[in-house]
Structure 1
């Protein structure tokens, strides 16, 4: 009996010690998850350090290495997996070994100018994104090891947020605000996701150390984000980056780019830690503009089905292509018979319908010969007034996407529940064939914002 009591006491003591130590570990970086399975087949060197394959070259890319480290720390924090801890500490050690000390500040440099990219970078450069990630890696590693060298390096990384890109650092001026640059390129190319990733590192460092400089830099960054977030609104999607050179503006969900849904999640995190409803309103706006990439987060598909009275080739070029999230290239729906009606049925009743976007393969819509109807919950059909708001042409290699955005008068709808929408193309004057890549409707999505917030489960400390 005495042995059983001793074993039970040891077990309880072990549990208490485990949870006490875990409580004292730094909280994981918020903008990553604990899924490390995706790194099982990553490109690595002989020592297990991640390598970025770029145009045939293997690059030690600090953004990538630090991001992988953050995932493994979060996995260890949530699962107590010792292999994850071991690999995290290996990557943390890489950060110690490869830190460049410039005196009062320093960081992790990329030794490749990515010359085949759209960026005009020096041969050796530093990124606000890897500096932000690195701040969190340093405090997480310190929490596990109590090695003060991690904190010493973190202090110098923090100072890099005050060093201009002109002097080899990561900060720039955007109007009257500071901006932390993911890429110190010329001309400046203010990247939204990299900026917010950097802010999250500052936030982690401040919360763990209570360092006043980190707090000020974070707050200055939040002020800049609030001032400039509207610049990233493309009307139908978000911009990946902004520049004084408009030719460098890139839509966040264009070919090969899946950053629009990342922007939504990041803005919800900013809202969570600041309590500022302005950021939530932009998360909601960007969610309305999403072509479907947020399905990655587990949200329900917005459109139940789309039916057409006429389709040229239903098997390969049917209505399924109209909400597949691919709006810049690929398959489309088309018709050559008029009138043709599209009936778009939603997966739930929607309210406050205020606009829609249609993306064609090039030619304009004959919108003056279009009718729009809302079908209500009781099957009542209401004709809606709409007008063209703007038109944008986006080209990707051999493909053209003609984005036409419309506003809907809400007077006839008020707060009525809408089951579906009907678009009637009565005629088409711009050719024999009407071809549409994608369409989207804008309505109140606070229900989805609340679901997404619960899925992401960000916490304010």
Structure 2
């Protein structure tokens, strides 16, 4: 997770003129749909081109990192996080307060459509097979890990994957599931080819790693990788997707193979560069170990849960 964010805020964005024609599907042909079972719930109507909507967008303030001013940014990571919260609120409220539920669904779909409009679709040929994927990239430098504008990461990608699935689950619109599968494909494509897969080696064996900060030589941040693997596994379970199940199982193998690299006696390292965790990430690592143990029943995760202190 982005460890140098100073504070996370939501502020009104008054002018999204040109972008909103994409957000609401003007060029993708999304039409308004009503549900006969519950006519209160509906998609947002397609706006006219260049219209201005008074909406709230999650904006992240990065401040200055390693001497470079990053300032305010609309990041796909925090947009998909906000969208998921909206879908969860909708699912909680849909049988209790239809008006509030409608607003949550409307906002969740708005943010999802924004994410779709900001994704990049690419096709690569791997071993004679064309793989088409969509990916989200950051439009600013991230000096902490020497990343230039256009970098991508697994935690953001897995969050967008989860958001697209929730959009599908709450609406039944197959378009979101199709896009979710394209988002999943990015984890099959090597970083060197524009995707989110790095091959790590240990004892003459190869392992899959999905870097939170993708580059030719990533820092191999632990917490973001673990969360990405778990969310890919959730997608596999909910959709019976064989590719997702394979990527999940390979990810768990990799965590087991490299977890000792992040062990600092009664504490843990944030990344493979030897940065020790602060209290927040130490707590998160312990929770992730317990999470993995409950999923896999593998004692190695219980070992580190008990070893690392908060």
Give CA-to-partner distance per residue, 1:95-127, whole Å, 9 cap, x none: 22222111311111111122xx32111320221
Greater helix share, structure number? 2
2:116 matches 1:90: no
Partners of 1:277 and 1:100 lie apart in 2 by: 40
Give 1:410's aligned residue.
none
2:276 matches 1:251: yes
Q: Does the aligned pair in 2 maintain the 1:133–1:197 contact within 8 Å?
A: no
Give CA-to-partner distance per residue, 1:265-292, whole Å, 9 cap, x none: 1121111222222212211111xx22xx
Secondary structure, aligned partner of 2:198:
strand
Q: Does the aligned pair in 2 maintain the 1:51–1:58 contact within 8 Å?
A: yes
Partners of 1:194 and 1:153 lie apart in 2 by: 22
Partner residue of 1:120 out of 146, 169, 194? 146
Secondary structure, aligned partner of 1:204:
helix
Partners of 1:95 and 1:218 lie apart in 2 by: 24
Give CA-to-partner distance per residue, 1:375-420, whole Å, 9 cap, x none: xxxxxxxxxxxxxxxxxxxxxxxxxxxxxxxxxxxxxxxxxxxxxx
Q: Does the aligned pair in 2 maintain the 1:127–1:184 contact within 8 Å?
A: yes
Q: Does the aligned pair in 2 maintain the 1:119–1:186 contact within 8 Å?
A: no
Secondary structure, aligned partner of 1:250:
coil
Secondary structure, aligned partner of 1:177:
strand
Partners of 1:285 and 1:94 lie apart in 2 by: 42
Give 2:247's aligned residue.
217
TM superposition score normalised by structure 2? 0.72
2:304 matches 1:282: yes
Secondary structure, aligned partner of 1:113:
coil
Q: C-alpha displacement at 1:43, in angstroms?
A: 4.0
2:133 matches 1:105: yes
Partner residue of 1:66 out of 72, 77, 80? 80
Partners of 1:119 and 1:203 lie apart in 2 by: 28
Give CA-to-partner distance per residue, 1:426-445, whole Å, 9 cap, x none: xxxxxxxxxxxxxxxxxxxx
Give CA-to-partner distance per residue, 1:181-229, whole Å, 9 cap, x none: 0001453200111101211221121112101111010000000001111
Secondary structure, aligned partner of 1:66:
helix
**Are residues 229 and 200 of structure 1, via their aligned partners in 2, closer, same or farther at CA, if it must alter by over 3 Å?**
same
Q: Does the aligned pair in 1 maintain the 2:10–2:56 contact within 8 Å?
A: no
2:277 matches 1:263: no
Q: C-alpha displacement at 1:172, in angstroms?
A: 0.7
Partners of 1:220 and 1:277 lie apart in 2 by: 18
Partners of 2:60 and 2:162 lie apart in 1 by: 21
Give 1:375's aligned residue.
none
Secondary structure, aligned partner of 1:241:
coil
Partner residue of 1:54 out of 37, 55, 62? 62
Q: Does the aligned pair in 2 maintain the 1:139–1:208 contact within 8 Å?
A: no
What is the Cα-based RMSD across aligned positions, in Å?
2.0
Secondary structure, aligned partner of 1:188:
coil
Partners of 1:130 and 1:85 lie apart in 2 by: 21
**Are residues 107 and 186 of structure 1, via their aligned partners in 2, closer, same or farther at CA, if it must alter by over 3 Å?**
closer
Q: Does the aligned pair in 1 maintain the 2:191–2:216 contact within 8 Å?
A: no
Q: Which runs of 5+ in 2 are unaligned?
A: 1-6, 15-54, 64-69, 95-99, 124-131
Secondary structure, aligned partner of 1:178:
strand
Partner residue of 2:224 out of 177, 183, 194? 194
**Number of residue pairs matched?**
240
Q: C-alpha displacement at 1:263, in angstroms?
A: 0.9
**Are residues 217 and 64 of structure 1, via their aligned partners in 2, closer, same or farther at CA, if it must alter by over 3 Å?**
same
Q: C-alpha displacement at 1:89, in angstroms?
A: 1.8
Give 2:10's aligned residue.
42
Greater strand share, structure number? 1
Give 2:46's aligned residue.
none
Give 1:140's aligned residue.
166
Give 2:45's aligned residue.
none
Give 1:20's aligned residue.
none
